[in-house]
Amino acid sequence: MFRQLKNIDSAFRHVKRFTMFIICASLTLCGYTIYTSMKKVTDMQGKIYILYNGKLLQAMASDRKNNIPVELKDHINTFHYWFFDLDPDEKENNEHLTKALYLADGSAKDIYENLKENSFYNNVISGNISQRIETDSIVLDMNQNPYYFRYYGKVTITRPTSIVTRNLITQGYIRTVEQSDNNPHGFLIEKWQITDNRDLTIQLR
């Protein structure tokens, strides 16, 4: 009888251990399932699907803080493109310059007004001049706010008789403002100045 009780007790302990193992395994499986499900939901929330020309394109959403240097450089690059990319077309030039002036403060408008007073834009039109800008690099100082930047590029001026390549270095500060249709990045260039705009090469046509 004692042997039978001993066997029952041993069997009970085995059943108890097996039951505890099943419970622990079930809890581990449930925890892993919940974790992977939450991770999947989080990943899916970071994905954006865009319908473009009948095709479904996938984009990824991310924290803006991670993209600030990229957005700053694009804002600076866009501003310089609109300000310096000119053709012998008054309407198109006015549209470009209007877009540029939305991205900067009065310092850019002062430079624009000085160029206008010196008949620079009239000369572009009357002289059938085309002006193109090419960005070399943009240096940012992210350790201060407003952020300091220095822009390096080249401007190619095509005249009927020559092609002139000029060096272009500008600098200024850039601060955060509200985003809008005219300023999609939500930045504003301040204290902008041109520090170098000398001729590099002159090629006769």
Residue pair 101/147 in contact by the 8 Å Cβ criterion: no
Question: Which H/E stretch holds residue 141?
Answer: strand 130-141
pLDDT in tens, 101-149: 999 999 999 999 999 999 999 999 999 999 999 999 999 999 988 999 9
Residue pair 123/129 in contact by the 8 Å Cβ criterion: yes
Residue pair 153/168 in contact by the 8 Å Cβ criterion: yes
Residue 121 bridge partners (DSSP): none
pTM (two decimals) = 0.70
Give the strand pairing for 187-196 and 199-204. unpaired
pLDDT tens per residue across all 205 residues of the chain: 545 545 666 766 777 777 887 888 888 888 888 887 777 655 555 556 666 566 656 665 555 566 889 999 999 999 999 999 999 999 999 999 999 999 999 999 999 999 999 999 999 999 999 999 999 999 999 998 899 999 999 999 999 999 999 999 999 999 999 999 999 999 999 999 999 999 999 999 8
| CA angle (63, 66, 72) in 5-degree steps | 115
Among 136, 125, 204, residue whose Cα is nearest residue 170: 136
Amino acid at 61: A
Residue pair 124/131 in contact by the 8 Å Cβ criterion: yes
Residue 46 bridge partners (DSSP): none
Q: What is the 3-state secondary structure (H, E, C) of 38-103?
A: HHHHHHHHCEEEEEECCEEEEEECCCHHHHHHHHHHHHHHHHHHHHHCECCCHHHHHHHHHHHHCC
